[in-house]
Amino acid sequence: MTPVPEIKIFPNRAALTRDAARRFVARARKAIDARGRFAVALSGGTTPRDLYALLASPEFSAQVDWSRAHVFFGDERAVPPDHADSNFKMANDVLLARVSLPAQNVHRIRAELGADDAAREYEKELREFFAREGNRGNKGNEGSEGNNFPRFDLILLGLGANGHTASLFPHTRVLRETTRWVAAEFIDEVKMARITLTAPMINAARNILWLVAGADKTATVRAVLRGDYRPDDLPAQLIAPRDARVVWLIDRDAAREITTN
C-alpha cells in the first residue's frame, strides 16, 4: 500500500525554504547516525536554489557533517558543467563550493559526454557507489529483470507546470522504464536532451521532499494530488513509493486549489 504523502502549506516561499532546510539537516543527521553517510539527490529550479543558498549560510552549513555527505543529481540538461542551464553549475555556485564538501563526494552527471553516454556512465557510478555502501534496495523494489534499486537517503523534487518532475516529461518513453536507474531522452517540449533518474529509482528512496512554489503551479498541484491518475499526462504521479516518507512543501500560491483535509 502506498503511504499517503504529508502536505505542508506555507504562507510564502521563504517560510517553505526555511522548513526545507530544517528537514534537510534532520535527514542528513539521521542518515549519518544510521549508516555513516548521507546520500542525497538534488533538484534544479528556483525553489531548490533558495534552499541551497540557505543551506550554505552559517546558520545551516554548520549543522551538516559535509565530509560524510555524498551529493548526486536527480536530472541534468545535456550541457557542459559551466553552462548557465546546468543544474550542477547552479548547485555548485550556490551551495557545493561554499561548504566543506570533499570534491570526491560530488557526483555530477557528465552531460558533456552526450546524453546517452552520460546516462550510462551515471548509472555505472551509482551502481559502484551503492555496491561499496552495501545499501541495495529493499525486497519489493526490484525491476522486471530483477534489478534492485538502491535507496537514497533523500531525493529533492520540484514540479513543473506541465506535471513533470526531474526530467520525467509527459508522453516520453522514459516514463515506462522499469529496470534502468538512469535514462536519457530528447524532450521535444524543451528542444533539449535530458538525463534523469527513472521513476523506480526515485521511488526507492527513503525520503522524498517536494518543493513547490508559485501561482503557475496551482492547477498542476491540484491535478497531481487530487485529480485522476494520469501519469502519461502528469509524470509526477509516478512518484508513489511503497516504503518512504514523502513530504510536499507547498507555498500558499501553489496550494490555492487544494486543502489538507
| C-beta of residue 74 within 8 angstroms of C-beta of residue 202 | yes
Asked if residue 224 is part of any domain, the answer here is: yes
Asked if residue 192 is part of any domain, the answer here is: yes
State the residue for C-alpha cell 551529493: 71
What percentage of residues in the chain have a pLDDT greater than 70? 93
Asked if residue 238 is part of any domain, the answer here is: yes
Q: d(Cα 251, Cα 18) in Å, to the nearest integer?
A: 12
Residue 237 φ then ψ, to 5°: -70, -15
Least confident of 140-144, 214-218, 228-232, 252-256: 140-144
- Number of folded domains in the chain? 1
Q: d(Cα 3, Cα 58) in Å, to the nearest integer?
A: 35
Which stretches does DSSP call E strand in the chain? 6-10, 38-42, 69-73, 75-77, 154-157, 182-187, 192-197, 207-212, 245-251
pLDDT in tens, 167-220: 999 999 999 999 999 999 999 999 999 999 999 999 999 999 999 999 999 999
CATH of the domain at 85: 3.40.50.1360
3-state helix, strand, coil in the chain (%, to 5): 40, 20, 40
- Is pLDDT above 60 for 69? yes
Asked if residue 207 is part of any domain, the answer here is: yes
Residue 140 confidence (pLDDT):
38
pLDDT in tens, 109-158: 999 999 999 999 999 999 999 998 764 344 434 333 334 899 999 999 99
Residue 1 binned pLDDT confidence (cut-offs 50, 70, 90): low
Asked if residue 258 is part of any domain, the answer here is: no
Q: Which pTM value belongs to this model?
A: 0.94
Residue 43 binned pLDDT confidence (cut-offs 50, 70, 90): very high
Asked if residue 176 is part of any domain, the answer here is: yes
Asked if residue 260 is part of any domain, the answer here is: no
Domain that holds residue 224: 6-251
Q: d(Cα 183, Cα 75) in Å, to the nearest integer?
A: 9
Query: The C-alpha cell of 81 is what?
Result: 558543467
Residue 259 confidence (pLDDT):
65
Q: d(Cα 144, Cα 259) in Å, to the nearest integer?
A: 37
Asked if residue 259 is part of any domain, the answer here is: no
Mean pLDDT of the chain: 93
- Is pLDDT above 90 for 261? no
